[in-house]
Chains A and B, each alone.
Chain A
Amino acid sequence: DTGVSQDPRHKITKRGQNVTFRCDPISEHNRLYWYRQTLGQGPEFLTYFQNEAQLEKSRLLSDRFSAERPKGSFSTLEIQRTEQGDSAMYLCASSYGTMGTEAFFGQGTRLTVV
């Protein structure tokens, strides 16, 4: 298993454009999380899937953000009408099993909105 995979690693986009990121979790991991990390800060929770069900969305996730996890496998995070404040590292993590099982993180997608 190659771990959690995120694509692309880097994305530069103009303000107002839409972007979509993909996350492939470790196979058989039923939980998938998206976090956002801005410079000098710890990761902040955005949203969480258990299988294909999106169980929680943070207040950080405005209406311009949408996430999906069709069939409980890979997940996509879309940002519409990007703003400069969306510039950040977007991290995906997955986990499986009983409480206390650690989450495994991907390498992240670095978004720069110009």
Chain B
Amino acid sequence: AQSVTQLGSHVSVSEGALVLLRCNYSSSVPPYLFWYVQYPNQGLQLLLKYTSAATLVKGINGFEAEFKKSETSFHLTKPSAHMSDAAEYFCAVLNAGGTSYGKLTFGQGTILTVHP
């Protein structure tokens, strides 16, 4: 079974500081990995995805993530936080086979707070 662990349920940074949100995955096959963002009372919006091409993936709003197979990690980073980045972030792994084709397994989420 595939799983995702997000380290740190809350992360707080100052505006302009580096954002680092951690995600570790478990998968018996090469994974497809995603980061989604959720604003209060909204659905999920895709930030970026890893589909076995380049290990460094660039997404929207200046976010990027690096796939590290040896560490089973897919951490999300942004060089300089903006107030508008305050939201909840979810890492997810895609089920790649069987009748659960396309099903996502999500981590618990990390709430990002950005201070002025």
Which residues of A24-74 are within 8 A (CB) of B? 31, 33, 35, 40-45, 48, 50, 55-56
The reply to whether B103 and A56 contact each other, CB–CB distance below 8 Å, is yes
CA distance A95 to B115 in the complex (A): 36
The answer, yes or no, to whether A110 is at the interface (CB within 8 Å) is yes
Size of interface on B: residues with Cβ below 8 Å to A: 29
In the complex where A42-B90, A91-B43, A106-B43 touch, is A48 in contact with B100 (Cβ < 8 A)? yes
CA distance A44 to B109 in the complex (A): 12
The stretch from A13-21, A77-85, A97-105 touching chain B is: A97-105
A15 to chain B: closest CB distance in Å? 23
Chain B residues within an 8 Å CB radius of A110: 41
Supposing A91-B43, A110-B41 touch, asked if A103 and B100 sit within 8 A by C-beta, the answer is no
A109–B1 CA distance with the chains assembled, in angstroms: 28
- In the complex, which residues 43-99 of chain B have their Cβ closer than 8 Å to any Cβ of chain A? 43-46, 49, 51-52, 90, 92, 94, 96, 99
List residues of A whose CB falls within 8 A of some B CB: 4, 6, 31, 33, 35, 40-45, 48, 50, 55-56, 91, 93, 95, 99-108, 110
Instruction: Name 5 interchain pairs, CB-CB below 8 A, sorted by A.
Output: A33-B102, A40-B108, A99-B32, A100-B52, A105-B43
